[in-house]
């Protein structure tokens, strides 16, 4: 369904009076099969949201390509981009700012239908009412304004708008992070159910590992604009290979007090994307970094068990022999 090949995104900025390029995404390769839910996880600032926005042409890429259903959509004219909007939609992180406060729920959800279809009048209202019912809202919400809804209800409206054109791909950018925990559970359960009912493919962006494990069957771990590990969700969670993935999982709070920590917390700060480390981007915080190797050589992806891709020299068999 979707593939990115060496996708890169750089932003030109002024730093200390000098022009510089901030590399938010650095040669990212993703592959999402039809019907899959791929989770993109990492710390804040790792480039997750930029990847999702670039796939949908909300940001411009500066390198690489995006292949959607066999077609390169890296550069599209207006007609083709309008077709893409019908087939791929996004649910944003903050439902409060995603809805126009001056529009009724009817008008907000109807907007993509007005732009892309010929539905008008009673037929349009009936269609919007049906969409609200799909996301668990009654038709009485049609003439309400966003300030009259709770956070969970607003997010359901955003989802209704996203599925209005029967898309094949949904990019979900932290869709539950702004919601209460109890509401999060409802939204996640709902997202799982409509994926099966509507035959949707998900790119699910989140920093919450528990959410990713619940919703997604595959996961990609991102650090400083690069994918460092990718594979089946249960494989990655039960047996993480990359030191950064291990550190993320060990940082998850344990549910019962008094239990020992699962591992040492990460030391040091995340390097600035304006001054990326040489070699492996994670080498400045990694306990297993090998001097003269991790801090000087570019790291390729290595395929390990169960077709898992890991960007780490620990899985280079030739280097293992050298070290031995």
DSSP codes, 9-38 = EEEEEEETTEEEEEEEEEEEEEEE-TT-EE
Pairing status of strand 302-304 against strand 226-232: unpaired
Q: Token digits for 3?
A: 């593939």
| Averaged pLDDT for residues 44-53 | 91
Distance CA 9, CA 153 (A): 34
Q: What angle do helix axes 151-162 and 105-116 make, rounded to 10 degrees?
A: 10
Q: Which domain holds residue 20?
A: 2-323
**Alpha-carbon distances of 149 from 134, 137, 194, rounded to whole Å:** 17, 11, 22
Q: Determine contact, residues 309/303, Cβ cutoff 8 Å.
A: yes
For residue 294, with 0-12 CB atoms within 10 Å meaning exposed, 13-18 middle and 19 or more buried, which class applies? buried
Helix intervals (H) in the chain: 48-55, 78-87, 95-98, 105-116, 121-134, 151-162, 181-198, 209-215, 233-238, 243-250, 317-323
| DSSP per-residue codes, 55-105 | HTTSS--SEEEEEETTEE-SS--HHHHHHHHHHEEEE-S-HHHHS-TTS-H
Q: Determine contact, residues 30/81, Cβ cutoff 8 Å.
A: no
pLDDT digits (tens, 9 = 90+) for 191-211: 999 999 889 999 999 988 989
Q: What's the CATH code of the domain at 132?
A: 3.40.50.300
Supply angle C-alpha 309, 313, 314, rounded to 5.
90
| Averaged pLDDT for residues 230-252 | 91
Domain count, the chain: 1
Provide CB contacts within 8 A for 157, sequence distance 6+.
95, 99, 105, 108, 109, 132, 135, 137, 141, 146, 149
| Averaged pLDDT for residues 121-128 | 95
pLDDT digits (tens, 9 = 90+) for 7-47: 999 999 887 778 888 999 999 999 999 999 999 998 888 99
Q: Determine contact, residues 267/285, Cβ cutoff 8 Å.
A: yes
For the cut 80, the answer to whether the pLDDT of residue 123 exceeds it is yes
Q: How many CA atoms lie within 13 A of 122 on its CB side?
A: 0
Pairing status of strand 63-68 against strand 226-232: unpaired
Provide CB contacts within 8 A for 86, sequence distance 6+.
116, 165, 166, 167
> What pLDDT shows up at residue 266?
79
Q: Token digits for 72?
A: 């390169």
Please tell me what DSSP assigns to residue 146. Answer: G
pTM of the model: 0.90
> What pLDDT shows up at residue 324?
47
């Amino acid at each position: 369904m979707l593939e990115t090949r060496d996708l890169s995104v750089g932003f030109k900025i002024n730093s200390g009076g000098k022009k510089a390029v901030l590399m938010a995404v650095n040669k990212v390769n993703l592959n999402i099969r039809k019907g899959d839910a791929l989770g993109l996880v990492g710390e804040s600032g790792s480039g997750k949201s930029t990847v999702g926005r670039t796939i949908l042409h909300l940001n411009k890429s500066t390198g690489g390509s995006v292949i959607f259903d066999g077609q390169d959509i890296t550069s599209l004219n207006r007609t083709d981009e309008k077709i893409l909007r019908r087939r791929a939609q996004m649910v944003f992180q903050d439902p409060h700012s995603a809805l126009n406060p001056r529009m009724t729920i009817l008008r907000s959800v109807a907007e993509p239908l007005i732009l892309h279809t010929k539905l008008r009048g009673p037929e349009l209202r009936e269609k919007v009412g049906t969409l609200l019912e799909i996301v668990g809202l009654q038709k009485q919400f049609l003439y309400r304004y966003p300030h009259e809804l709770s956070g969970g209800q607003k997010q359901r409206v955003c989802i209704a708008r996203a599925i209005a054109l029967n898309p094949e791909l949904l990019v979900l950018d932290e869709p539950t992070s702004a919601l209460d925990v109890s509401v999060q559970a409802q939204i996640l359960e709902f997202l799982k159910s409509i994926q099966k009912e509507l035959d949707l493919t998900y790119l699910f962006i989140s920093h919450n590992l528990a959410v990713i494990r619940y919703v997604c069957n595959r996961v990609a771990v991102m650090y400083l604009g690069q994918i460092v590990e990718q594979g089946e969700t249960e494989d990655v969670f039960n047996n993480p290979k990359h030191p950064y993935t291990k550190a993320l999982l060990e940082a998850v709070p344990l549910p019962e007090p008094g239990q020992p920590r699962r591992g040492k917390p990460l030391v040091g700060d995340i390097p600035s994307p304006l001054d990326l480390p040489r070699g492996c981007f994670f080498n400045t915080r990694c306990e297993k970094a090998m001097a003269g190797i991790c801090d000087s050589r570019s790291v390729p992806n290595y395929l390990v068990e169960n077709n898992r891709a890991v960007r780490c020299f620990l899985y280079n068999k030739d280097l293992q022999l050298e070290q031995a």
